[in-house]
Amino acid sequence: MNAMKQETHRPGALKQSNKQHKTGRHRSKSAVNKELKGKQNIKTSLKHVKKGLQRDARRNQLLQIRKKKREEVLAQKRDLGGSLSAPVLICIIPLHSDIDIQNVMSVITSIDETANIATSPCGITHIGVPKMKQRFSIIVPPIGNVLATLDAAKVANTILFITSVACRTNGDTEKEIIDNWGKEIIVSCLAQGLPTTVFAVHNIQRLHIKESLESEYIPDPMDAEQTWPTEEELAEAAANRKRKIVKVVPKGTSEYQAAWIPDEDGADSNKDLEDDEEYETITMSEAAVDEEHYDQDIDILEEKQAMEKFKEAKLDAQFPDEVDTPQDILAKTRFQKYRGLESFRTSPWDLKENLPVDYSRIIEFADYDRRRKHIYRECKLIEEPIWYERYFHPDSTVVASMYAPVTFSPCPVLCYIENKGGELELIATGNVLSCNPNRIVLKRAVLSGHPYKVNKRSVVVRFMFFNCEDIEWFKPIQLRTKYGRRGHIKESLGN
């Protein structure tokens, strides 16, 4: 008996057809599973494994990465000076101008008898030590040349500062182990940045202790005894008080100059000045100053000019950027290149206004910070900055702009001035802030006046202008007081 075949259900014309689920641009989970057919994505599995690490495992992984990087850096340092790398460059900088460099070099080159020593035409000494399998190159910049010393210190792997205990003058007088040159070059090198640094003392075998360093205070029992002074002792004390006085003056001040310094500060301030390294005490007589003993090396005209500059710097610190209105010419003619601004920060200014043709050679980065991270090249620049500060006040911070090759921050900056003798003097140190060609460099001039009469809603101001034309010219500019009051010029009185 044949089995009956089962008929399948066939939908009719009225069967409801539902919409398919919309997954958007992405595939559904069921579609992804059908395509993979049980296979796992490698990236996904590694990502899940990384997330699944415990805290201790993650910490151990970071330690291993840090250790590996440290070992790579140490391997690079150990390979330096080997047969397959550049020699170790050592820069020797003496901290005293009287140090015999040839004697120092002879001591260094005679340490190992098996060392191979050669001197290049430019003066660099090359030393190869077979026992250590190391090579060294020693460069000694000339004493007194600041720029050459800084250039050598910048490229050196190690800097060797040398001083000597046997520095004496022709009169067999002992000097300081670090003179002015040594102090200046140390400050400059610190501002520029230092590599590995070593300090050494030369001729230490000549150092002899002449007297014992042990000391003990033995009290005197008679110090506490109170006795009445005699008439001779009183007369002697009075004479000493009249004849001699002690003053605290800047270093280098002569007795004649100290006589003109008034004693107004008192004992406490003098004690504070004595602790300062820039001051010293001087004992002098109270008698009238004898002009015949005036220092012959001091120029009277130069002293007067220095005093005038000192007064101007003091006024500039109290009233910065204030300029006196000229009386011989019109103020609108004197300040025709200036414009009135209410505020440097909020006043509008066209960045591309009246730019010179050479300004087109300046490079502008679309993203300076990103470029600085990828390309950082340290280079020594000698450029002329643009200063609009009249005076450098002590312990003050200023910003200077300059046109120079591309330099990335925070590259160190050293500012020098050249003295009359051609020597360089370090006056400021700092760092590069940014490289922005759109930075506005302005010169500010503040015109001030004296309030003569103050009313409820108006003020009469004197000595601001001396011509009616100037008053009409400066009427659109807003006036401001020291405490924030604002107003405008209404009319001219008395001109």
Domain with CATH 3.40.50.300 in the chain: 86-204
Distant-in-sequence, close-in-space partners of 315: CB < 8 Å, separation ≥ 6: 322
Beta 279-285 vs 244-250: how paired, if at all?
A: antiparallel
Closest CA to 477 of 354, 332, 321, 351: 332
Question: Which pLDDT tens digits describe the chain residue by residue (495 residues)?
Answer: 455 666 777 777 777 777 777 766 777 777 777 777 766 665 554 455 555 568 888 889 999 999 999 998 888 888 787 777 888 899 999 998 888 888 888 888 888 888 888 988 888 999 998 888 888 999 999 998 999 999 999 999 999 999 887 665 444 555 678 888 999 999 999 999 889 899 988 887 776 655 565 666 677 666 665 567 778 877 877 776 566 667 777 776 776 677 666 665 444 445 555 555 567 777 665 544 555 555 556 677 777 887 888 888 887 777 777 888 888 888 888 888 887 877 777 778 877 777 777 777 777 777 777 777 766 554 465 555 555 567 777 777 888 887 777 777 788 888 888 888 888 888 888 888 888 777 777 788 888 888 888 888 888 888 888 888 888 888 888 888 878 788 888 888 865
91 CB neighbour count, 10 Å cutoff: 23
Q: How far is CA 287 from CA 242, 257, 290, in A?
A: 9, 14, 9
Helix or strand run (H / E) with residue 211: none
Q: Is 404 exposed, middle or buried (0-12, 13-18, 19+ CB in 10 A)?
A: middle
CATH top-level class for 86-204? alpha beta
- pLDDT recorded at residue 488: 86
- pLDDT recorded at residue 268: 47
| CA separation for the pair 34, 423 (Å, rounded) | 84
| CA separation for the pair 417, 127 (Å, rounded) | 38
Is 410 in contact with 323 (CB distance < 8 Å)?
Answer: no
- pLDDT recorded at residue 167: 60
- pLDDT recorded at residue 384: 54
| Coil, strand or helix at 366 | coil
Question: What predicted TM-score, i.e. pTM, was given to this entire model?
Answer: 0.55
